[in-house]
Structure formats: C-alpha cells, structure tokens
Structure 1
Amino acid sequence: MCYALDAIIRDAEKKGKRQGAKQGIDRTNRLIQLLLADGRQADLLKSTTDTLFQQKLFREYHI
C-alpha cells in the first residue's frame, strides 16, 4: 500500500510542477507582451537579469 501511495504522491507532485511551470511561463509571456506594447524594451531587457525588477513589473502590471 505504501508503494501505491508513494506513486500517487509522486504523480501529483509532477503534475503540480508542470502546472506551476506553465503558469510561470504564461505570466512571463504576458509581461513581455505588455512591455513591448508599451515600448519598454529597456525594461524588458533589464527584467531578464534583475528578478527584483521583474517582480516589480509583475506588480505594476497586476500579473
């Protein structure tokens, strides 16, 4: 029974990681779209190396 439960837990963890990764990608892509639409290429470039700045942009755009 422990093996079955372990397998269920592992599968759930994998599914959660995939969903989380997809949400992160979707969120980042949305930020990219908005920054480009606003002509903020310099901020987009900075956000690729400065995660605190990126988080600020997520908040600014309510993403």
Structure 2
Amino acid sequence: MSIIFRRSAIPMILGIVNALIDISSHFSLEYIIEGIENQTETDDVRDKPIAAIQGIHFFYPL
C-alpha cells in the first residue's frame, strides 16, 4: 500500500499514517515509510515503530 505523505496539503494524512502503523504493529508486520522529502516529514515519523524511512531527504535516486 502506498500513501503520498504531504502533510502540508492534507493535514489528516498523518492520522491515516499513524493508523496504518498501529495496524501493522498489531499484526507484527514491518512498515517502511517512503517518500520523505524534508526534515519536517522526518520529524513526524521518526519516533514511530517502523522498520525504515526512505526518501529524497536522505538520498536522491540513482
């Protein structure tokens, strides 16, 4: 499943992301946050129980 994380455009998206993380944790699934483009988005998800964070904020595609 993919969700475009644009908190500035749709403030409710963080609630959806949190719900998906809670569901994945309940079923012992790993969750990877993709598409992180800036420090604000990183700060929003850094303390969540996720397997990894990726996006152009960390590395540009090759």
The TM-score, its normalising length taken from structure 2, stands at 0.35
Q: Which has the higher strand share?
A: 2
* Structure showing greater relative contact order (alpha-carbon pairs closer than 8 Å, 6 or more residues apart): 2
The TM-score, its normalising length taken from structure 1, stands at 0.35
